[in-house]
Chain A
Amino acid sequence: MSIIAGISTPIGNGAISIVRMSGEGALEVALRFFTCKKLRNQEIMPNYMYLGTFSGSNFKDKCLFVYFKAPKTYTGEDLVEFHLHGGVTVTQKVLHTLLENGAKMSGNGEFTRRAFLNGKISLDEAEGVLGLINAESETEISASFSVMQGNVSKRIRPIADKLLSVISMLEAWFDYPEEMEDDINTDFFPTIRDIQSNLEKLLATANQGRMVRNGVSVALVGKPNVGKSSILNAFLREERAIVTDIPGTTRDTIAESVIYKGVRINLLDTAGIRKSNDIVEQKGIERSINAVKKADIILYILDGALGEEPTLDLVKEGARGKIYYVNNKIDKGNSNPNYINVSALTKEGIDELLELIIKEVGNKRMYGEMLTIDRHIDAVANALKSINNVLNNMGVSYDCMLVDLKDALQSLLEIDGGTASEKIIDDIFSRFCVGK
């Protein structure tokens, strides 16, 4: 069976979350990303928990890892589990890393289904699947979900149609070689390249889509006492962070969420970044740097009262998101045309700053056209993989090319439901005059 992966704990809640992967070769995929001192010179043992690091392409996180060896596992196949820190971001990054490296997104109840097919499951366990099915239909009746889904398929459908037209032309040519002599055009690669670039564009919206769903994360950084917590409070409009005049009060990154014009903004307050001998504060600083690395947007807060200029190179510290320089305390000092000028005290400029943040997520009317659902992202990514296969193996015979083209079509059709083969045959006879 192919490898499937999925998040096995409720998303967003809880102290830990578990990503599970099942199938022949699951361990090999896992060990490309999980490293641990113990495993450097010894074979992994089943049913033991290892503490180590999951290293993705642009993130690292400590986690616990277990390997269960087939057939004595839940699914009856090789099964691995990553026990990660709770929260959405890391969990999803781990999942996406696995999906990009050979695993397929598991369908609802698919782990249980495999357990059944391999004769591993009791009735009680299977009843759990039923719960999942009900949960699925509840989500589906929610209006926002179906609107979102409808809009995504609006973007995917023209791509799928274009692909279908190439496939049905070739299939008609296979099944009616003589009658298709006049209608066959074997120079269809420009169309395939066009499909490739459309899929790439669509996939690029996945990141934006994720922000719509999970919120855009904003880190506030700056020297101690520049007013980071005050700005946070201005956003929240309530006293949440402890604001005092003693530098270095905020030692934790505080995650708070505010919904502004329908967009969730996850605020990461950070301890000030500076050299410190206080161990507790050092920890806080370390965390701040982590927050900088994770954030979609970084607000670098400057003390306007002192006319402060930025001194830290955040990109060097690992920042990947957009950086805005915010000149705070303009009630006490001068505004600076190079920066965004605000006053946390008088709330001047705060709404403008929030506008700037939600702009990052894109035009609101576009939300529905972004890929927001993991299953959709997975489907588009798989389709793109198959299309890339076609373009990388242009010398193979047409029947092999069709294997990848049909895989790509099937992936895209999975979003709407429907099978490729029936659509292809209908299309052949509606477009070509074949048959004797």
Chain B
Amino acid sequence: MKRFFDAVVIGAGHAGVEAALAIARLGKTVLLTATQIETVAYMPCNPHIGGTGKGHLVREIDALGGEMGVNADKSLLQIKMLNSTKGPAVQSLRGQADKQAYHDCMLETIYNQERLTLEIGEVESVNVSDGTVSSVVFKGEEIDTTAVVVCAGVYMNARIIRGEEEYFEGPSKFARSEKLSKQLETLGVEFRRFKTGTPARIYRDSIDFSVMEKEDGEDSVYSFSHLTKVKLVEQLPCYLTYTNEETHNIIKENIDRAPMYNGAIKGTGPRYCPSIEDKVMRFYDKPRHQIFVEPESADSDLMYIQGLSSSMPRDVQEKMYHSIKGLEHCRFAKYAYAIEYDCIDPLQLKPSLECKKINGLFFAGQVNGSSGYEEAAAQGLIAGINAKRYLANEEPIILSRSDAYIGVLIDDLVTRGTNEPYRMMTARCEYRLTLRQDNADRRLTQIGRDFGLVDDYRYSVFTKKQEEWQRVSELLNNVSVKADIASAIVERAGEHPIIGSIKASELLKHNGVTYKDLLPLPELEGVDEEILMEVAVEIKYQGYLKKERAAIKEAQKMESQIIPEDLDYNKIVNLRLEARQKLSQIKPRTLGQAGRISGVSPADINVLIIELLKKKK
């Protein structure tokens, strides 16, 4: 008898596991497939979760009821708040994760999840009837299904390149996906080639750490998930060293053997994680580049050499690595390599991540042209939720650019597209002060609750925190601080003393005064430090936040104007030709999205407005 699942998720990397867990948790049956068991929630490149912009994504995934934050907290080796002195908007959490533990914990979660089945093998084709997904072929078996989420990462038609060597396999010699991209092409999905790379893994006992700079984690109060209560105590250090003139000379002398330079690689590489040969050639005069040496896992004897990604041949890699302080006698466990893979142009997707051409076919993660575990997980979560909503005949969930970094990420991909693997950056977010990592739960948990992924436990933690937030907020508005205490605080920050007593909330607004200055106040005894910090940010940055809120309100008016999907742009004579082409290709969902398409001018938008009015008549 033919098997049936409500949905099939192809690929069990960071996007696939979020998608599958979301679908199962929302009550539908799902088959999750992986080419090998080791690929499940595997971290093929760097051993961290989070980082600038990406830390925001993890917190948002968590606030919506996703798994990444919880799983990262279970496998942390070190955690740090980046940019702690530059302002609350650009602070991001970054954790060193134990790769083995991350994989093990996620696997356990998957096994324990009802309605979710994990099986090993390749999905060879997706079958479509009447433009709608009907079944998949998995290891020769036809399985009926209603929705498919493709989370194939870098595995489709993957090619590993290292100097003159070339292998047709996925990361770490894992089996690649051989057939799927070619089959999807016959359905009208368009593919292209992207490239990325990873540095070597080096045996720990062959590294001289004594000549490197030690980088400890912070004794911090942080965790990724709003649910995690146990904070990390013991932290494993990282180490910092540098390339030097000799390293650069080795690269320059051998540059004709680098596949990126001799034409062996044609895929588009990311500016966001260049290989060392790229860095040396593009910034020819820079005397040194940073190299971070990071543990892969507490139980492993391998170290990750961040900053030395390369596709040079093995002998050149050895010379390069051996020229670096502390790595003089290092032994290679795995050599660095570049990988080239099939991915789609995300302009083929709706903001729900469903393919415009095929109903019920969703795409998420690196296959959409993004880069990074967090970007993948964020898309996986949204694609999973929307696949379930597709099954249930419900409107898709679309987060806007003013709701979340996830909204910015997906809007950028499906509206502007990308010509290189896309990385999240805080610089991409126009409402940065509003979309902070600290308030991710206050922005999103209610939304997650409404569509059903936030369970009772998470919701009760959230509402309790909301109440405490409210209490602390009122407290700061009511507590008055005596002149001598207040003056001592502002004088420390280099300001003139204060005459008369002052409300704690007013005191916070002075330059240089932070929530930490308020901690010793007797009235604030017992207040949760993290909550105090969040409340303080809202008070301190009131003026700027107000300005952003006004801008958001303005943008929302454009976002609320929905454009019918069947609008024929070629029939609108007053649109310029370029606008007509772009609009026909992207089919924006709202006027706001239309306005962000490159090549669509404000005048074109005015023409669209008239068109919409004609439709309404």
**What distance in Å separates the Cβ of B89 from its nearest Cβ neighbour in chain A?**
4
Interface residues of A in 1-31 (CB under 8 A from B): 1-2
A174-B433 contact given A107-B602, A397-B88, CB 8 Å threshold: no
Q: For the complex, what is the distance from the CA of A402 to the CA of B541, rounded to whole Å?
A: 13
Contact A113 B606 (CB under 8 A): yes
Q: For the complex, what is the distance from the CA of A74 to the CA of B33, rounded to whole Å?
A: 57
Cβ-based interface call for A130 (8 A):
yes
A126-B610 contact given A403-B433, A433-B283, CB 8 Å threshold: yes
Cβ-based interface call for B581 (8 A):
no
Cβ-based interface call for B274 (8 A):
yes
Cβ-based interface call for A108 (8 A):
yes
**What distance in Å separates the Cβ of A382 from its nearest Cβ neighbour in chain B?**
13
Which one of B53, B89, B554 contacts A399 once the chains associate, using CB atoms below 8 Å?
B89
A175-B53 contact given A130-B607, A396-B511, CB 8 Å threshold: yes
Q: For the complex, what is the distance from the CA of A397 to the CA of B613, rounded to whole Å?
A: 45
Q: For the complex, what is the distance from the CA of A117 to the CA of B609, rounded to whole Å?
A: 9
9-residue interface stretch from B223-231, B247-255, B374-382, B420-428:
B420-428
Cβ-based interface call for B74 (8 A):
no
Interface centre among B282, B428, B550, by most A CB within 10 Å? B428
Cβ-based interface call for A171 (8 A):
yes
**What distance in Å separates the Cβ of B529 from its nearest Cβ neighbour in chain A?**
19
Contact B544 A174 (CB under 8 A): no
Question: Which of under 10, 10 to 19, 20 to 34, or 35 or more describes the interface residues of A?
Answer: 35 or more
9-residue interface stretch from B177-185, B265-273, B313-321, B518-526:
B265-273
9-residue interface stretch from B79-87, B111-119, B155-163:
B79-87
Contact A398 B271 (CB under 8 A): no
Contact B557 A133 (CB under 8 A): no
Which one of A2, A108, A116, A173 contacts B550 once the chains associate, using CB atoms below 8 Å?
A2
Contact B89 A133 (CB under 8 A): no
Contact A133 B273 (CB under 8 A): no
Cβ-based interface call for B574 (8 A):
yes
Cβ-based interface call for A160 (8 A):
no
Q: For the complex, what is the distance from the CA of A164 to the CA of B218, rounded to whole Å?
A: 33
Q: For the complex, what is the distance from the CA of A107 to the CA of B603, rounded to whole Å?
A: 10
Q: For the complex, what is the distance from the CA of A238 to the CA of B229, rounded to whole Å?
A: 92
Contact A425 B609 (CB under 8 A): no
A127-B610 contact given A1-B553, A400-B544, A433-B289, CB 8 Å threshold: yes
- Produce 1/0 per residue, B426-470, CB < 8 A to A: 111010110000000000000000000000000000000000000
Question: Chain A residues with Cβ under 8 A from B609's Cβ?
Answer: 113, 116, 126, 129
Question: Chain B residues with Cβ under 8 A from A136's Cβ?
Answer: 603
Contact B90 A395 (CB under 8 A): no
Question: Chain B residues with Cβ under 8 A from A129's Cβ?
Answer: 606, 609-610
Question: Chain A residues with Cβ under 8 A from B52's Cβ?
Answer: 174-177
Cβ-based interface call for B279 (8 A):
yes
Interface centre among A126, A171, A402, A436, by most B CB within 10 Å? A436
Cβ-based interface call for A424 (8 A):
yes
Contact A398 B430 (CB under 8 A): no
Q: For the complex, what is the distance from the CA of A133 to the CA of B307, rounded to whole Å?
A: 52
**What distance in Å separates the Cβ of B555 from its nearest Cβ neighbour in chain A?**
10
Interface residues of B in 60-86 (CB under 8 A from A): 82-83, 86
Which one of A121, A176, A428, A433 contacts B613 once the chains associate, using CB atoms below 8 Å?
A121
Question: Chain B residues with Cβ under 8 A from A398's Cβ?
Answer: 86-87, 90
Cβ-based interface call for A190 (8 A):
no
Question: Chain A residues with Cβ under 8 A from B601's Cβ?
Answer: 417
Contact B428 A425 (CB under 8 A): yes
Contact B90 A174 (CB under 8 A): yes
Chain B residue with Cβ nearest A118? B557
**What distance in Å separates the Cβ of A417 from its nearest Cβ neighbour in chain B?**
8
Cβ-based interface call for A421 (8 A):
yes
Which one of B272, B282, B428, B548 contacts A433 once the chains associate, using CB atoms below 8 Å?
B282
Cβ-based interface call for A178 (8 A):
yes
Cβ-based interface call for B36 (8 A):
no
**What distance in Å separates the Cβ of A379 from its nearest Cβ neighbour in chain B?**
14
> Which residue numbers of A lie inside 8 Å of B, CB to CB?
1-2, 107-109, 112-113, 116-118, 121-123, 126-127, 129-130, 132-133, 136-137, 171, 173-179, 181, 395-400, 402-403, 417, 421, 424-425, 428-429, 433, 435-436
> Which residue numbers of B lie inside 8 Å of A, CB to CB?
46, 52-53, 82-83, 86-90, 270-274, 279, 282-283, 286, 289-290, 292, 306-307, 309, 425-428, 430, 432-433, 511-512, 541, 544, 547-548, 550, 553-554, 557-558, 561, 574, 601-603, 605-607, 609-610, 613-614, 617
Nearest 4 A/B pairs, CB to CB? A395-B511, A399-B87, A397-B87, A399-B89
Q: List 28 A-B contacts (CB under 8 A).
A: A1-B557, A2-B550, A2-B554, A109-B606, A112-B606, A113-B609, A117-B561, A123-B617, A126-B613, A129-B606, A133-B603, A174-B426, A175-B90, A177-B83, A396-B87, A397-B88, A399-B88, A399-B89, A400-B433, A400-B541, A403-B432, A421-B428, A425-B427, A433-B274, A435-B270, A435-B271, A435-B273, A436-B46
